């Protein structure tokens, strides 16, 4: 497998994990909206913390994907 193919595969994996993270954040936000009146404060806080951590994870993954795309342009 050449370097270009390896970079494309790694970009594909990063895109997959970005999609999983976005779906997870949407689930966390929807849970928060549905349970903010009845859930314990600790659970609400943990939900918000998890959503923020996932948002940071998405930003880091996006940055990594952009670097790999730039590297892919240089390999071509």
Q: How far is CA 72 from CA 3, 6, 11, 16, 68, in A?
A: 9, 10, 10, 18, 6
pLDDT in tens, 43-54: 999 999 999 999
Question: What domain range is 31 assigned to?
Answer: 3-75
Who's near 75: CB < 8 A, 6+ residues apart? 3, 4, 7
pLDDT in tens, 4-60: 889 999 999 999 999 999 999 999 999 999 999 999 999 999 999 999 999 999 999
Query: Could you give the residue ranges of the DSSP H alpha helices within the chain?
Result: 3-35, 41-75
Number of domains, the chain: 1
């Amino acid at each position: 497998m050449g370097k270009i193919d390896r970079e494309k595969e790694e970009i594909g994996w990063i895109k997959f994990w970005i999609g999983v993270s976005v779906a997870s954040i949407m689930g966390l936000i929807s849970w928060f909206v549905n349970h903010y009146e009845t859930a314990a404060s600790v659970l609400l806080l943990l939900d918000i913390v998890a959503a923020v951590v996932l948002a940071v994870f998405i930003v880091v993954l996006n940055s990594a994907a952009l670097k790999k795309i730039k590297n892919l342009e240089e390999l071509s």
